[in-house]
Amino acid sequence: QVQLVESGGGLVQAGGSLRLSCAASGNILRIDVMGWYRQTPGKERELVATTTSGGIINYADSVKGRFTISRDNAKNTVYLQMNSLKPEDTAVYYCHADRRPLIGTKHKYWGQGTQVTVSS
């Protein structure tokens, strides 16, 4: 019902920057929370940043001051600007969205993930 497509991952040196994009398509009405999670082998998927349809933003402590999440409602797209990247930021980054229909339970959607690798 909702498709999320990430882009913008790649290889960057420590201290560099990347900008991730996630475009939502399909049944995009009543999408509330959108955000980014990341995961490395042997680790659980962790929250990076989220934003609600009302503009409330939440960041993980590890990325505060370095990452910025933003949202373009007209384009159904959420962005993650990543500055001052560190090797420990290396992970697969996943776009996430919650859709709350008027009737029925909340639905969760995930993108396919985009690899971010930060070299020393």
pLDDT of res. 75: 87
* Contact indicator for 65, 59 with CB cutoff of 8 Å: no
pLDDT of res. 13: 98
Tens of pLDDT, residue by residue over 84-118, are: 999 999 999 999 999 998 888 899 999 999 999 99
pLDDT of res. 57: 97
User: How far apart are alpha carbons 24 and 112 in whole angstroms?
Assistant: 12
* Contact indicator for 60, 47 with CB cutoff of 8 Å: yes
Sequence-distant (≥ 6) Cβ neighbours of residue 120 within 8 angstroms = 14, 87
pLDDT of res. 2: 94
C-alpha radius of gyration, the chain, whole number: 14
Tens of pLDDT, residue by residue over 1-37, are: 899 999 999 999 999 999 999 999 999 889 999 999 9
pLDDT of res. 53: 87
User: How far apart are alpha carbons 37 and 56 in whole angstroms?
Assistant: 17
Instruction: Return the beta strands (E) in the chain as ranges.
Output: 2-7, 10-13, 18-26, 31-39, 46-51, 57-59, 67-72, 77-82, 91-99, 107-110, 114-119
Judged against a pLDDT cut of 90, whether residue 74 lies above it is answered with: no
